[in-house]
Structure 1
Amino acid sequence: MTLLQTPLYPACVEQNARMTEFAGWSMPVQFGGIKQEHQAVRDRAGLFDISHMGKFELKGPGVMAALQRLVPSNLERLGLGQAQYTVLLNPEGGIIDDLIVYLTSPPASAPGSDIETVTLIVNAATTDKDKTWLWSHLTGTDIELSDASRDRALISIQGPAAAALLQPHTPHSLDQLGRFAHRDTVLLGQPAWLARTGYTGEDGFEIMTDPDTALALWQTLSAEGVAPCGLGARDTLRLEAAMALYGQDIDDTTSPLEAGLSWLVHLDEKGDFIGRSRLEAQKAQGVSRRLVGLVMEGRHIARHGYPVLHQGDRVGTVTSGTLAPTLNLPIALAYVAAPLAKVGQILEVEVRGEPRAAKVVKRPFYRAK
């Protein structure tokens, strides 16, 4: 199979990136080393090529109303230039994908605003699935769906110094752009779209622009000392911040209430949506399992798929695990039986056939200052 290449592929190869296949794309897994890249983001800033992610634009009358039926979050909260992290749900309340919804035009409630425009950033591995799902629920409407997944580049600069390092390259004040806010801007003299979002637990920005501008920005920031980072560091950073990875920590069989994403579910604020009845039942009856954070005793690392035990019985499964570089502790996310999901609960994880002690802890494992 021929792998897709992002516009930044040549620059990554030139920087001696170790490449790997991910969701049909050839992506950098690391440059100088995962720990080194991880620490660069925590201490200063790192640069990520995330051009493989899905990029949709929905435009037409009633866009927000149509999306309201597909997610459990109340999108009517959004104003122009604001965004909402949320999930697409199937009828059983399972998560089709997690995504960010960016309102890029005035909402229909604004005077003279009958046409709405929304940008959706979705996971690379679910781009085609999401597109099919959206199309199936937009049939019969005048809403247009444009897929720019392969046409537009997406760069992420993350870390406490991200704003200071990016500011010289845009005339717009980044201090005035709040968390989960976004705007059209100019970078290196060219049009670009900028959002204060990320997947590392640090401050940062995600930038969508044309391939040539993205390549120039990547090369400029790299020359200024911003560390290029791969998927390896992106994974350890997001896990320290206890951010879910679709396909591991959440999927079509997990509900947002099971996954600790109840803050995305606004049952009291909105009408019917796909999966509502299932979430109402779970809220009333309680869920049978919950996603928890675990810290392992000693240096034993819990990996995806390892059994979680309590008094010798299997009570759950690890979904993600690593030796956290910032904390220097083995951490993991796991689904466990709901009665055992309380902070402080002592459990065990079967590591290479041996039960190893673990404790349920509060998430996130790491929080930026």
Structure 2
Amino acid sequence: MDLKTPLYDAHLTAGGKMVSFAGYTLPVQYKDSGVIKEHLAVRNQVGLFDVSHMGEVVYEGKDALANLQYLLTNDFSNLEIGRVRYTLMCNENGGVIDDLLVYKCAEEKYLLVINAANRAKDVAWMKRYLFGEVEFSDQSDQFVQLTLQGPKAKEIIEKLTPEQDIPKKYYSFTENADVGGVSCIISRTGYTGEFGYELYCSAEDGVKLWNILLDTGKDYGLIPCGLGARDTLRLEAGMPLYGHEMNEEITPLETDLAFAVKMKKEDFIGKKALIDKGEPTITRIGLELTERGIVREGADVYFNEKKIGQTTSGTMCPYINKACAMAIVEKGFVEIGSPIEVEVRGKKIKAEVVELPFIKK
């Protein structure tokens, strides 16, 4: 049976259309809005998402940093307290187990935010590789995570939060911030390609924080948003999703995430396999349809009648009003501007390779 976040009843009250996702029952959209309206609210005003299904684990102790350095692909030796860093967690073959965010809370304390669908797998993997003086705890059930995204997000937070508690830099955060009387972690991060914040509070305060944000945001056009808009927003922003643009067979270097892989580190799980594989022979691209149609995941991509790969995500992007997709293809065949074809239900549709992200704001 699917789990429910602490906001389940609040979603029903707001008219949420509930679906099963990553082991949880979550709103895909709301009856008074719908995916397109929710998507455009985030691009033009502001939207509020419940992402409490995400997982949170903590590493604490003298060897916490050493554990992360070996477990993850990015380098955390120079991460400052109050900053966030994106990273991958690989298996021994260099494939991606998950992508995640690392928050440095103190010199010997780190909060890691992991994907909901991978929580059990991630926790088991992390426990398997623990060493030295470190305490590991899965605190996922203790948190509610809300994300406030859009150009007017700052105005809402400024009405609720003392200025010194608001993180100023992208990928920075403030612990124990006061948001309308609720103690939160406020993080200048998001998964939409917009300005915004991610807020973490105790599970007990989740409904209170949700209602405070909705009430305060009324004057700014704030509406609740579901999984549907979250996916179209991240795709329009060219952001990869685990299980689509990356998985345990595809390495970070093969899906254009080399910026989060520090090969100069002494060692990390999967490093030897990445070296042994050599220069990647496949890569992630963006494509835009040049004739009518919509492409979904798993469509074959052709260049000069040769199949060169498959799409990994695709939809009609509401803000730019174009049908777009991402794909993993063989390297060396196409570049920006190359004409390609995508096979949809037995018919080849014309498309063009374009730069990521699709949205240019």
1:192 matched to 2:178: no
Q: Distance in 2 between matches of 1:229 and 1:190?
A: 21
**1:157 maps to which of 138, 144, 148:** 148
What are the superposed Cα offsets for residues 274-294 of structure 1, whole Å, 9 maximum, x if unpaired? 111222244xx4211111000
Q: Distance in 2 between matches of 1:299 and 1:218?
A: 40
**1:235 maps to which of 212, 231, 238:** 231
Q: Distance in 1 between matches of 2:336 and 2:342?
A: 16
1:263 matched to 2:289: no
1:276 matched to 2:267: no
What are the superposed Cα offsets for residues 19-55 of structure 1, whole Å, 9 maximum, x if unpaired? 0000110000001200000000000110000000011
Residue 109 of structure 1 corresponds to none
Q: Distance in 2 between matches of 1:38 and 1:25?
A: 22
Residue 65 of structure 2 corresponds to 64
1:252 matched to 2:248: yes
Residue 342 of structure 1 corresponds to 335
Contact 1:167-1:174 at 8 Å conserved across structures: no
Q: Distance in 2 between matches of 1:172 and 1:304?
A: 43
Name whichever of 237-246 and 342-351 sits farther off: 342-351
Q: Distance in 2 between matches of 1:70 and 1:133?
A: 9
Residue 14 of structure 1 corresponds to 13
Residue 179 of structure 1 corresponds to 170
Q: Which amino acid aligns with 1:303?
A: R
Q: Distance in 2 between matches of 1:317 and 1:281?
A: 25
**1:133 maps to which of 125, 135, 145:** 125
Residue 123 of structure 1 corresponds to 115
Q: Distance in 2 between matches of 1:238 and 1:274?
A: 28
Q: How far did 1:176 drift?
A: 4.8
Residue 2 of structure 2 corresponds to 3
1:142 matched to 2:141: no
Q: How far did 1:367 drift?
A: 3.5
List aligned pairs for 1:79-118, cutoff 5 A.
79-106=80-107, 116-118=108-110
What are the superposed Cα offsets for residues 173-224 of structure 1, whole Å, 9 maximum, x if unpaired? 4665211001111122232111111000001111111123221121122223
Q: Distance in 1 between matches of 2:15 and 2:7?
A: 13
Residue 299 of structure 2 corresponds to 306
When the two chains are superposed, the root-mean-square deviation of aligned CA atoms in Å is 1.3
Q: Which amino acid aligns with 2:123?
A: K
Q: How far did 1:360 drift?
A: 1.0
List structure 1 runs of 4+ shifted beyond 6 angstroms.
none
TM-score normalised by L of structure 1: 0.93
Residue 112 of structure 1 corresponds to none
Change (3 A) 1:367 1:120: farther
What are the superposed Cα offsets for residues 315-365 of structure 1, whole Å, 9 maximum, x if unpaired? 101100000101111100001110124212221100110111111111111
Q: Distance in 1 between matches of 2:165 and 2:295?
A: 39
Contact 2:167-2:173 at 8 Å conserved across structures: no
Give secondary structure in 1 for the equivalent of 2:207.
helix
Give secondary structure in 1 for the equivalent of 2:121.
helix
Name whichever of 248-257 and 337-346 sits farther off: 337-346
What are the superposed Cα offsets for residues 267-317 of structure 1, whole Å, 9 maximum, x if unpaired? 23x2111111222244xx421111100001122111101111123232101
Q: Which amino acid aligns with 1:8?
A: L
Residue 160 of structure 2 corresponds to 169
TM-score normalised by L of structure 2: 0.95
Contact 1:95-1:253 at 8 Å conserved across structures: yes
Change (3 A) 1:76 1:341: farther
Name whichever of 328-337 and 210-219 sits farther off: 210-219
Residue 308 of structure 2 corresponds to 315
Give secondary structure in 1 for the equivalent of 2:53.
coil
Q: Distance in 2 between matches of 1:231 and 1:199?
A: 12
Contact 1:236-1:324 at 8 Å conserved across structures: yes
**1:213 maps to which of 191, 205, 217:** 205
Q: Which amino acid aligns with 1:192?
A: C
Residue 364 of structure 1 corresponds to 357
Contact 1:310-1:348 at 8 Å conserved across structures: yes
Name whichever of 116-125 and 171-180 sits farther off: 171-180
Give unmatched runs, 5+ long, in structure 1.
107-115
Contact 1:308-1:317 at 8 Å conserved across structures: yes
